Every structure is written in C-alpha cells, then in structure tokens.
Amino acid sequence: MVEGGFAKLFQKRSFFRFAQKYQPLGSGEPEEEALDCKTLNVPRNLLNIHRRANSTNTTPGTSEVLPALTQTHEERALTIIEQEKEVTVLPPKDACKCHKEDLARALNVDLQTGLSEFSVLQRRLKHGWNEFSVENTEPIWKKYLDQFKNPLILLLLASALVSVITKEYEDAASIAMAVLIVVTVAFIQEYRSEKSLEELNKLVPPECNCLREGKLQHLLARELVPGDIIYLSVGDRVPADLRLIEVTDLLVDESSFTGEAEPCNKTDTVLLAAGDITTLSNVVFMGTLVRYGKGKGVVIGTGENSQFGEVFKMMQAEETPKTPLQKSMDRLGKQLTLFSFGIIGLIMLIGWLQGKHLLSMFTIGVSLAVAAIPEGLPIVVTVTLVLGVLRMAKKRVIVKKLPIVETLGCCNVICSDKTGTLTANEMTVTRIVTSDGFQAEVSGVGYNGEGNVYLLPSKEILKEFSNISVGKLVEAGCVVNNAIIRKNSVMGQPTEGALIALAMKMELADIKDIYVRKKEIPFSSEQKWMAVKCTLKNQDQEDIYFMKGAFEEVIRCCTLYNSGGISLSLTPQQKAFYQQEEKRMGSSGLRVLALASGPELGKLTFLGLVGIIDPPRAGVREAVQVLFESGVSVKMITGDALETAVAIGQNIGLCNGKLKAMSGEELDQLAEAELPSTVKNVSIFFRTSPKHKLKIIKALQRAGAIVSMTGDGVNDAVALKSADIGIAMGQAGTDVSKEAANMILVDDDFSTVMNAIEEGKGIFYNIKNFVRFQLSTSISALSLITLSTVLNLPNPLNAMQILWINIIMDGPPAQSLGVEPVDRDTIKQPPRCITDTILSKSLILKIFMSALIIISGTLFVFWKENPKSGITPRTTTMTFTCFVFFDLFNALTCRSQTKLIFEIGFFRNRMFLYSVLGSFLGQLAVIYVPPLQKIFQTENLGVLDLLFLTGLASSVFVVSEFVKFCEKRCCQPKNKGRS
C-alpha cells in the first residue's frame, strides 16, 4: 500500500513540491503535509527523514539540491519497505542455533533499541495480529435452523405436510407445534451452554513488556510482530514464541505443551543441534508460564506461525464425530419411515383386494402412518437430555452439545492427560527420610497447607519439633527457599513451594523469620545445589549454611550426619544407606532433594531426603476403580518420563496395577495396521506429543472404541476435538483446550466423569422406556382402527376418544418416563455398544407383547359390551376406558426394562405419579362430567365396571413384571458363571 503511494507520487512528479513545503524544526506543519501523509498512508516518522534533511541542509542558495536529496530519501524508504517484507518468522529449530548477531540480522532488528513503529506496521501488514483467526461464528438464526436437520424432525415435518394435503389441519398443527417445542428447547439449552463457556473463558487479555524505539512499553500481546524484543519476569505468560538472548535463573512451566510437571531451566546459549521442542532450552513458547527468574527474548513466531498456532491449525482441521445417540436416532427415523410406508402399502393392498377405492384407502393409510410416528419422541429425547445437562450443571460440568451427555453411556475408553488432569499440577512432598533413619509420609495435595506428616510405622502426627530429626529437615527446606505461597498458589519454583507447604503442615512456615540471610549461592544446572548463609536474629552466634540439591552433590559437602539433634561422623555405610533410599524413592517416580546444614560449605551435617511429586487429585483412584469395574478402560497419555508416569499409574490403580507402557518414539515405529491392536493393550503412553495423542485416539476409534479424552493443555487440544467426547478442565485448562472440548469440568474434578457416564447410561435407558410405551400404545390404537377398517366392523373408538388417547400417549405420562431418576446400579452396567439400536430385538418383542395384550383385552371388552342391536354409548365408554387403563398400567411397567416395580420404588418418580393420577382423574371426568360426556359420547359406569376394567387392564403390568422376573432368574446363573 505504501509502495503504491510512492509509485503514484513519482508518476505525478510532485514529490519536489511536497518536499519544498517542509519547514525547519520548531515551525508549524502546513496542512498540505498532513494531507499528503494521510493520502500516502506513510507513517509520520518516515516523512521525518525529509524534515531532518531540510532542516540541516536547506540554506539560502542551496534549494537546487532538494530534488536529489528527496529522491535519495525516497529510495531509502522504499529499501526499508523491501527489507521489512523480507523478514519472515523463524522456526524454533532454526532460531535455537542462531547467534544473537545472526538473529538480529535475520529479523532486521537492533537488540538494544527494538523495532521502530514503521517496522511494526510493515510487519503487521505481512504477518497479521498475534492471534488466531477463528472461523466466523454462525448467526443465531442459522444455529436455530440447524436443529431441523435431525432425521426424525424432518420425518415429522413430512407428516405435517401430508396432513395438510389430506386436509387433517388439526394433526398438522399439533405436529408442527411439537416440532417447534423440540427445536426451541434444544436450541435454548445449547445456547445457554455456549454462554456459560463464554463466561468461563472471560480472561484478562494477555499483556507484555516490549522494547520499541529504545523505550520499554506495556502492550497487549496481540500487537506483537516478529522481531519485537520482550522482557519476561516471574508470573508472566509468554506472549509469543521467543528466542532468548538474556536470562537470569529462568524457569518456565511448559506443562501445557509437553506434559512435564517440572519447570524447564532456560538458557541463552546457542544450541549446536535441535531435537524436539522439549529440548530447545533457549526458546520459550507462547502460552507457557514464567515460574522463576527473568529473561529477554526476540519474537520469532506469532499467531498461527507459533507452536501454539500449529496445534490450533491441527485442531481446526479435525472434524467432531457424530454421537452414538445421533446415529441411533437416524436409524430409528429410517425404521419408522419404513414402518410407515409398510402400513400404507398393506392398507392399499387389502383395500384393492376388497375392491375399495384406492385413493380413499391411500388416505386412510397415510393417516395411520402419520399417527404411528411418535411425535412425542423428539420432545422426550430433548427434555431427557436437557434434564441430564442441568443435573450435570449442578455438579459443575458444562455440556456444550446436548447429545454428548448420552454419548458417555457408550464410552468404553477414557484417555487422560496426566499433568493437571489426573494430577493437580502442584508439586507436593509425599515422603521424608531423615539422616538417622526415620521415615514419614505426607498427606494433602498442593500449596494450601492442608494435610499432615505421619511418622512410620506408628502413624503419629508430627508437628513442629516433636521429632527433632524431621523438624530440622523441614526447617532447612523452609530456610533455603525463595518461594512465597499466596492464596494457595506459589510464586517461585514449584519444588520450593512444596517445601514451604510441608513446613505449613508441620506448623514451621514462620521459622525462616528467625534467621537473617547474609548470602545466597543460587542453584545452577551445573552445580545442582543451592545454599544460603544465615545467622539467628538478635543473637551473637556463628553463621550457618543451609543447602538443598541433588543427593550426589549435597553428600559431597557433608562430613557429618544428624542423629536426634546430635552431629555424628558420616560413615561409608551411612552414605550407602542414603544412596539406596534415594534410588528407591527415585524409582517410584519421586523427585528427590537432599538437605544439609552447618558452619562451613565443606563441613555440613547431612539432614535427610524429601521425595516430591505432582500427586493424583483427590478422588481419582476411586473413580478409576469404579470405571474399571464398569468396563471402562482408563489410559494415561503424558509427556512426562516413564518413572513418573508409572508411579502415578500405580498410585491411581490403572488396569488394577497390570501396567503396560509405551513411549511416543515406540508408537512412531509401529505400522499403521498394527496400531489398533497394540494401542488397546497399553495403559500408559509417555513422552508423547500432540500428534501422538491424535494417533492413539484414531487407532482406538478404528478398533471400535468410543473414546473420551480428558486434558487441560495446548498439547491436548487436537486429541480433545477428534475424540468422541472431549473433556477439558475449567480452572487449569487453557482456552484452546476448552474451545476444542465438548464438556468442561468447572472444578477440575476428574471423578465427575463418573457421574457423567452414569447420566449418559441412564438417559439412553429412559429413552428406550419411552419408546416402548409409546410404540406399544400407538401400535395397539392403530391395530384396533386397522382391524375395524379391514373387517368392515364399526369403529370401537370415536375421533375425540382417539385424540384423548393420543394426548395420554404423547402427553404427561409418556413425558414423565423421560425424567425417571438415574438408577444407582447403572454405572455398574457395561458401556452400551455403539451398534445397539434403540429398537433392539428384545425391545421390539416386549412392544409387541404389550400391544397384543392391550389389543386382546380391548377387543374382548368391545365384543362383550357390543349388543346385537349395534354400538351404544356404553360400548364405546367401556372400550375407551379399558384402553386408557391399559395405557396407564403399561406406562407403570415401562419405567424400567429390567427391574421390578418394587425394586425401583413406586414413589421415586414423583412426576410420573402426578401424571398418572392426573390422567386417571381426567378419564373419570370424561366419563362422569355431563359436558364432557356430550363431547366424548360417554356415559356413567358403575363401580363394578371400573373394578373389572382395572383388573383386566392390570394384566399388561402383571405379565410384563413376570417376564422381567423370569429374565432375572435366567440371567443370574450366567452372571455367576462369568464372575
């Protein structure tokens, strides 16, 4: 754009006149200059080149040199623009091998002053803002219309159209109303979930300290461009990919990228060779967190050209798979369509054989087919899912799409990230070994100070110096420490935070205040220890050193060991014992720190060892155990090391302790055909990247598994989106992981997944219960009408009575089946097979069994009450009431497919009781209230009539309960045999 402006300027040969209008510095700027500046879209600092030239060179009699100078500056400006265009982002693996001078040259930046505003503008034109371009959000009206894509909804709309064509306007209106209710409820719930997610994601926009034009400025991270100089300090979120050029004790938490719980030690030295991103010690990545120290770096990648952006692009490319419920509803829609066409064909064939008019028979067939389609089914499915979503919301789980709740009922594999998901991403001391052999275990997770220190094996709770050796060890860890804990979060190194939290549990957190620190020898990766020189406040005593670090380095500085507060000479046997303990703790996945104190660095007293780990979250072990027992396999996928991953795996009881581990490198060596069978048998994947996680998910899906993925980091986002159910952490989760997921655990509680699976299984069973009730009722009603039509019999039910039955069939009693509380034994049921349809063979048999009983009973009453003189109001009243009572008893037995009514309880579903009671009272009103008698053509019935009808109608309930009882008795021996 700028270049175009200059070209036009040259063509008009007006630049000389433009330059002549400049005044010496200090004089006013003419309006024409401002106008030309805007017209050209040239930054004012570039035009200042001309101003400076004029102010220094223009003297009386030298105006003839201006055109040449102007052209020179114009050429320089064009050269600058061309240079800015040539600046490209540097891949981290190239940047890590660059010297500072080469880096400055490649990015065309002065490392001491930073970029100019003009350079920033030119680079932004080429590289864009430092943010991700998310696809335009769909307008609300389009989201609403998308709800109509459901095959069952389309089938109902087709039914409404047929009703209009056949002039059945009441049917068309009722079906259209049902459809509107369904799509509106589903849309509102999903819209609410999206809004909840937006609230969750309302974070303060990331900011940074950036050097530009020699001044340190506070900017929004989105304004950065390649070549910007960034200053980092403790607590900063890294705003872009940076190549470090200066560092001071810099530790960066990269767990959201790599899964490593331990912060990475960063340097500014040039690397000779580049490995994977975890090995690039002089590069920091967008979205990671500065835990300790400070640094200065050059931006090498922004927006979608950063490592974060690579993951984002992979996530955008992934398609979210269809849920099993959506597939089941698709199949049910097709089955009902075939059923409808079958009825139409059968009626027309019979009519043709009887010599009846084909058009009239077609009209009857279509009417029956429309009546056969359960328009209440989408309402029940939607209401059931909405109630499931609302119940999950109470448990602090946000569900973004309604069908996802039910999908959890099919889930048979949960792949979980370790750091921040199974664990809290909070380093915690869990084990203590003192120099004189005392051992203690520590409870509680994180930096809140909750928990206790238990002396083993007595389990005595230790406080302050109740055990001298443990007290002195904890004191040393607290003093040789720079971390601060505020509001349950650590400022500083997480390992130092763990030592402070340990001191809080021992009530020794304030002990460092009795010392005055005189000197600190900071930790470095070469020496692997840190020491401080202190003296006691207000006491004239000699100085004392406290040291912490790697065991092999600390023990070299020790000549004594502590035994109950007395220093004794350190023997080779003692050293061997400590070394053995250190190896044992390390092999169980703990990070081991040794502590010592004494008057001189070479003559310290060894105090003992502490074992630190990022331990499992509370409730994870129990959740994994319940999931395992219910047939759900839990797999851990982490970027961490083997020892740590296995230690956590054993701690949470993965695969009942029968662990098989595989690295990301080993995964890469497997052939594509081998992946599904191999991945199924592995419980821990370590040293994995986002691509490995995606490969594992896809392999499990090819093996026929319904996979749930839980995670919190950027490195989990792609896998979260490609999984059947993606579950992100609400508090610890990154924005990109929440965007990719279908569900969000607001409190980061992994055990809520178990509740969600329970909900998912219960929802599917409730839908099946409703389908059984509605189809058995509709088939019964259809069969009565069909039989009377085909056999030329008088119709046993009139139009108003059929409408009343339809209200019961689709109304409150039917809808209340969808809100049956989830059975507590549901979680113990194995995951539902994805190929299972709602209309399974056993369900179809039960539907036809119930329908046969209802038809037989109703026809029996119709035959019994039908006098030779013709149909009377009593005949239709008895037949009508008989059918309604059959309906209510059928609804009662449809509350569960497997459990007897006494097992689930009469009063558990209050809504069902109120609905049945309301329907019963409504039926009595239809029989006994005079105005309604006229409408429904009924008459009063005696008490004995009602008792007879109740006894007959209860047969459908009695037979169904007896079948359940027999099924239970038959299945028990098989189950015992399996166990």
Which residues sit opposite 5 in a β-bridge?
A: none
Q: To which H or E segment does residue 77 belong?
A: helix 66-86
Q: Which single residue is written with the structure tokens 């007595």? A: 458
Give DSSP secondary structure letters for 375-426: THHHHHHHHHHHHHHHHHHHTTEEESSTHHHHHTTT--EEEEEIIIIIB-S-
Query: Are 255 and 419 within 8 A, CB to CB?
Result: yes
Which residues sit opposite 843 in a β-bridge?
A: none
Half-sphere exposure of 175 (CA within 13 A, CB side): 25
Strands of 716-816, DSSP E: 725-729, 743-745
CB-CB neighbours of 977 under 10 Å = 7
How many Å apart are CA 241 and CA 300, to the nearest integer? Answer: 6
Helix, strand, coil distribution of the chain in percent, nearest 5: 55, 15, 30
Query: Are 887 and 850 within 8 A, CB to CB?
Result: no
Is 735 part of the annotated catalytic residue set?
Answer: no
Strand pairing of 241-253 and 207-212? unpaired
How many Å apart are CA 883 and CA 953, to the nearest integer? Answer: 8
Helices (H), 791-909: 799-810, 812-817, 841-865, 873-893, 901-904
Within 8 A by CB and 6+ apart from 670, the residues are 678
How many Å apart are CA 838 and CA 944, to the nearest integer? Answer: 40
* Bond preceding residue 226 cis, omega within 30 of 0: no
For the record, the structure tokens of 38 come out as 């805007």
Within 8 A by CB and 6+ apart from 247, the residues are 266, 267, 268, 293, 294, 295, 296
Backbone angles phi, psi at 742, to 5 degrees: -95, -25
How many Å apart are CA 774 and CA 379, to the nearest integer? Answer: 12
Q: Which single residue is written with the structure tokens 């069939």? A: 809
Query: Are 301 and 226 within 8 A, CB to CB?
Result: yes
Residue from 236, 417, 749, 945 carrying the catalytic annotation = 417
Strand pairing of 684-686 and 661-663? parallel
Q: Pick from 648, 613, 626: which is nearest to 751 by CA?
A: 626
Query: Are 301 and 92 within 8 A, CB to CB?
Result: yes
For the record, the structure tokens of 21 come out as 């209008």
How many Å apart are CA 809 and CA 437, to the nearest integer? Answer: 75
First and final C-alpha spacing in the chain = 76
Query: Are 915 and 939 within 8 A, CB to CB?
Result: no
Give DSSP secondary structure letters for 348-365: HHHHHHTT--HHHHHHHH
How many Å apart are CA 39 and CA 668, to the nearest integer? Answer: 57
Q: Within the chain, what is the greatest distance between any pair of CA atoms?
A: 132
Backbone angles phi, psi at 152, to 5 degrees: -70, -35
Instruction: Give the orientation angle of helix 873-893 with respect to helix 841-865, to 10 degrees.
Output: 160
DSSP secondary structure letter of residue 302? -
Helices (H), 254-375: 255-258, 307-317, 324-353, 358-372
Query: Are 411 and 724 within 8 A, CB to CB?
Result: yes
Q: To which H or E segment does residue 634 belong?
A: strand 633-637
Question: What amino acid positions are annotated as catalytic residues?
Answer: 417
